[in-house]
Structure formats: C-alpha cells, structure tokens
Chain A
Amino acid sequence: MSVEPPISVSGLSVAYRLPEHHHSSVKELAIGAVRRQLHWRMLWALRDISFELAPGECLGIIGANGAGKSTLMRVLSRVLPPTHGRVVVRGRVAPMIELGAGFTPQLTGYENLVLYGALLGRDPRDMRRRAQAIAEWAGVSEFLEAPVRTYSQGMQARLAFSVATDTRPDILVIDEVLAVGDASFKRKCVERLAEITSQGTSSVLVSHQTTLLRNACQRLLWLDRGRIVACGETKPVLADYERSMETAAQAGRQIPAGTGSQSAAAG
C-alpha cells in the first residue's frame, strides 16, 4: 500500500451554475441572448474545502441539511467536476449514494445486479459468477427472476449495498445510505463495513447517526453552508456540533456564522 493519501482535496469549490429563472426555456434564452442579458446564478455548494484522507481512515462528514455533504460525496465519486480547486482520488471507489436509485424497474433482480456491478466498473462475467452469493447476502435470492419494480425499498437497498461491497474497494464513499432498511440490515451493513475497513479500505461517510459516527470514524469534517467549520478528532468535533445544533434549535433559527470560527479554533 502506498503512503500517498487515498483522497486529497485542496481548495475545492463547487458552484451550481443555474440559469436565472426568467429564462427557463429556449425561447426566453434566445431573447435574453439577443438582448445580452444572460444571467447565471452561481450557487456555491462548497467553498474552499481542503482535507486529506489517510490510508485506512474513516472520515465522517457532518452538517445540517444543505451544508454541501452530498455535493462533496458526488465530487469524490467523480460525478461532479470541481469548479475550482483540485481533487485527487487514488484507488477504486465504490460510491454509495442513494442505493438502488440506478436500478431499472422493468429488469429482473439478476439483470439489475449484473448491470449495477458493471456500472460500478466490474466485469459483467464476474458479476454473473458472483450473482448467487450477492443475492444471498442481500436476502433476495428467491426473487432474482422477479422484476425490481416488485422489490421493496429495503430489498433494493440491500441488493445495491451487496453489489457495491462484493469486492473490497480501495475507497468507500457512503452518503447516508445506512438510514434506509430495518435494524438487522443496518447491523449487517455496519459489520460488513467494519470488515472491509479492517482490510485497509478508507472511507468517507456522511451520516446523522451519532453512534455510528462515534464508533466508525476517527475524524469528523463539519460542513456548514459549503464551508469547513471544523475538522478533527471525532469526539471534540461531535461535541461542538451537537452543542451548536442545540443552540440553534433553542434559538429556533439557523446556526450563527460566529460559531464556526470558534469551534474551528477549538478543534
């Protein structure tokens, strides 16, 4: 294993460049272009983010809704390009973002399993060989020939999780996927993640479950409105985060901007 960090992010900013609402159609765009009134609204989802992931480390990402967590996950899994800054990812990434969302409802579980694996970069022939084992872990082996539209949300999530973790990836990018499914499935997932991590896989994990974060992550990265509030050891960052959330809840408003710099200094 190389000593190079599996993920290094420097000065990352991501903007959603949205067309102004007053020309959301081509006709209006054409009129706007003629009048030279093309307006783009730059919505900054992430601003100047820098961090490194150490080999074998699990980094948790926390923050309120709209903090930019999912955007960060999508940049790390190559789906979104950075607007500014640089992202280097070394190794095979297994992205787990809304598990099962890539399934085709009309296809059978088996066909989806093979396709999903292939989309994640696996050889379809390997997927066919592994299909039975993957389905068994997900608990859907009796339904492999049924179309996925007949599957429950939980079954789809289990199948997708099973495909994504069938071979050990170098890096796991997990966006809240452990929030779906019942308790026993969650336990199974956490066990499998622990097993994979113990073999050297690094991971980035978005979650709102503090117990999971406390148990799985060595460090936490706290985002607020696209900026890093704090990055450091799990315990102190989580304590600061929870305190600020409580304050915000009591005040019944957004987290004050001032909290950020204070806890960054503390962390």
Chain B
Amino acid sequence: MAVPVYDSAQRGRRALAIGPNLWQQRRLVGLLLRRDLVSRYKRSLLGMWWTLLNPLLEMAVFFLVFSHIFRRATPGVPYVVYLLSGLVLINLFRQTVLGVATSMVNNGPILSRMYVPLELFAVSAAGVLLVNFLASLIPLLAFMLITGTALPATLPLVIIPGALIAFLGVGIGLALAPAAVLYPDVTDLLSVALLLAGYLVPVFYPISIVPVKYRLFEQLNPLYSFLESFRGLLYGGSFHPASAYAVMLGTAAAAMTVGSFVFSRFGRRMVVLL
C-alpha cells in the first residue's frame, strides 16, 4: 500500500474530489448514518415511530384549524392529503437545510480532534432526513387509502422531486455550514427563515385563495415547483407542470454548485472555532 502523504501546500482541488471521496468512504458514511439514526431514536420512548408521528401531529394541528376553511378549496383531492403531502415535502427541505447547516457544529468534538473529510457528516445528516422522508410516505399513503384517493401509476416517481429538493437543501445547508460555526445565531435565523419559506408557498393553503396579483410571486418561488410536481405525481397522475422539472433541476444544481464551493473553501478554516 502506498504511503499516504499530506502536504499542506497542495490545496484547491478539493471541491472536485468530493464525489470519489464519498465513494471511497462509503462504509464510514454508512456507519455515521447508522449512528445518527440510532442516537436520534434510541433513548426515546417511541423510537422510530417518531418519524411517522411527527408529520401526523403537525398535520393534525393544521387540519383542526384549516379543514373547515379549505375543505372545498382543493378540487380533486381531500384536503387532508393535500395538506400532508405539502408538509412531508417541505419538512424534508427544511430539515435537510438545517441538518446539513449544523452538521459541522454538531460534530465539533470529532472534527476538532481528527482528520475526517467534513462533507461526510453533511451527507450522513442528509441521509437520515431522506430516510425520514421515505418513512413519512407511509402515513401519507395510508391517508390516501383511507380517503379513497386513487393511487396513480406515477406515484413511485415522487422520489424525483423528493431527491431534488433534498439536493437543494443540501446545497443551501453546505453554503451555510461554515457560517453556522462562526455565528451561533445563524442556526436560529435559519429556522425562522425556513418556517417563513414554508408559508410563502402553498403547503397548507390552496393557491386559489391567494389573490391573483400575488400568485406570480408565489409561483416564482422555486419551492412552488417542487410542491406542484410532487403533488402531480402523487395524486394527479401527471408530470404537470413540465416546466417545474426544469426549475427543480436548475435550482438543485445551482445550490449544489454554490454550496460545495463555499463549503470546500471555508469549511476547513472554521474547524479552529469548533
């Protein structure tokens, strides 16, 4: 085996090395993923059931408040399915951004004591939330069955907007992770911003209640495209609107590019502050 050489003078190609690095380190990523899943649920009463329960509880709150108002405003689909589908997707986005952005802070004790590529922790954080997302599809499907909503053939493809919104979240999270080490309140501000981002798009309200003059503003938000295509595949049985796919691909790719650049440039420098 070749002797590994670390030369501090050789830098700069790291952004491009992330892909092969991940493949090389897949076993370590697997262990980290397992650690994150276990440490999240091991000491709780309900364990993994929390994953299923969380979106349901949130849904229950919204449902109690809004079901009377919006009952007839979501044509073609019961309000509860409309609501839960929106929550499941927007929560994947919110939690991925937050999980990746805090991945350096959360692993401070390890990162400040041994050399491990920083991005492995971000990937593991995102992986946990993708698992959560897949698990939360179970109650969603259950509600579709209960309410008699037809399950179209396009349903398994919901993983496409799911994966793309996860990439968007990872990209934004990577860009913010170094800042979250530098300033602790970045995380707080981010939580608020993500909450607001969820209200700016039709998650729990139908777009039809938005005054026409503000609708364009909502539709220009990339998150709108993710929600539309997700719901289209989930219960609409269509790839409508086609333009959403271009928006999703574009924003996810742009976020990943900017995020990896910022992260590889500033991430290692922030380790001194951990």
Contact of A97 among B31, B34, B113 (CB under 8 A): B113
Question: With contacts A91-B4, A118-B27 known, is A26 near B38, CB below 8 A?
Answer: no
- Complex Cα distance A77/B110, Å? 13
* Beta-carbon nearest neighbor of B274 in chain A: A79
Residues in B with CB closer than 8 Å to A218 are none
Are B113 and A90 in contact (CB-based, < 8 A)? no
Is B114 on the interface with A (CB-CB < 8 A)? yes
Contact of A107 among B3, B28, B35, B182 (CB under 8 A): B35
Are A119 and B35 in contact (CB-based, < 8 A)? no
- Complex Cα distance A82/B7, Å? 11
B:105-136 near A, CB below 8 Å: 109-116
Is B32 on the interface with A (CB-CB < 8 A)? yes
Residues in B with CB closer than 8 Å to A93 are 6, 115
Are B189 and A26 in contact (CB-based, < 8 A)? yes
Are B269 and A118 in contact (CB-based, < 8 A)? no
List the one stretch of A98-106, A132-140, A204-212, A234-242 in contact with chain B. A98-106
* Beta-carbon nearest neighbor of B189 in chain A: A26
Is A88 on the interface with B (CB-CB < 8 A)? yes
Q: In the complex, how many residues of chain B place their beta carbon closer than 8 angstroms to a beta carbon of chain A?
A: 39
Are B6 and A107 in contact (CB-based, < 8 A)? no
Is B43 on the interface with A (CB-CB < 8 A)? yes
Are B113 and A102 in contact (CB-based, < 8 A)? yes
Are B5 and A89 in contact (CB-based, < 8 A)? yes
Q: How far is the CB of B264 from chain A (nearest CB, A)?
A: 12
Interface-central residue, A82, A104, A124, by most chain B CB under 10 Å = A104
Residues in B with CB closer than 8 Å to A2 are 3
Contact of B39 among A78, A92, A106 (CB under 8 A): A106
Are B31 and A115 in contact (CB-based, < 8 A)? yes
- The 0/1 profile, CB within 8 Å of B marked 1, for residues 117-130 of chain A is 01110011100000
Question: With contacts A81-B8, A91-B4, A107-B38 known, is A118 near B31, CB below 8 A?
Answer: yes
Q: How far is the CB of B131 from chain A (nearest CB, A)?
A: 17
Is B71 on the interface with A (CB-CB < 8 A)? no
State which size class the interface on A falls in. Answer: 35 or more
Q: How far is the CB of A267 from chain B (nearest CB, A)?
A: 27
Are B6 and A78 in contact (CB-based, < 8 A)? yes
Residues in B with CB closer than 8 Å to A74 are 112-113
- The 0/1 profile, CB within 8 Å of A marked 1, for residues 25-59 of chain B is 00110111011001100110000000000000000
Is A250 on the interface with B (CB-CB < 8 A)? no
Number of A-B contacts (CB under 8 A): 109
Question: With contacts A97-B113, A101-B109, A102-B109 known, is A115 near B35, CB below 8 A?
Answer: yes
Question: With contacts A26-B189, A86-B7 known, is A79 near B114, CB below 8 A?
Answer: yes
- Complex Cα distance A74/B115, Å? 9
Residues in A with CB closer than 8 Å to B9 are 86, 88
Q: How far is the CB of B71 from chain A (nearest CB, A)?
A: 41
Is A16 on the interface with B (CB-CB < 8 A)? yes
Are A82 and B8 in contact (CB-based, < 8 A)? yes
Is A111 on the interface with B (CB-CB < 8 A)? yes
- Complex Cα distance A27/B186, Å? 10
Is B72 on the interface with A (CB-CB < 8 A)? no
Contact of B3 among A77, A80, A170 (CB under 8 A): A170
Residues in A with CB closer than 8 Å to B111 are 79
Are A87 and B6 in contact (CB-based, < 8 A)? yes
Question: With contacts A102-B114, A115-B35 known, is A124 near B109, CB below 8 A?
Answer: no
Q: How far is the CB of A28 from chain B (nearest CB, A)?
A: 9
- Complex Cα distance A154/B271, Å? 27
- Complex Cα distance A29/B3, Å? 44
Question: With contacts A26-B183, A87-B8 known, is A79 near B35, CB below 8 A?
Answer: no
Is A25 on the interface with B (CB-CB < 8 A)? yes
Is A59 on the interface with B (CB-CB < 8 A)? no
Residues in B with CB closer than 8 Å to A90 are 3-6
Q: How far is the CB of B79 from chain A (nearest CB, A)?
A: 38
Contacts A97-B113, A111-B38 supplied; 7 other A-B pairs, CB < 8 Å: A25-B184, A74-B112, A77-B113, A86-B8, A88-B7, A90-B4, A120-B114
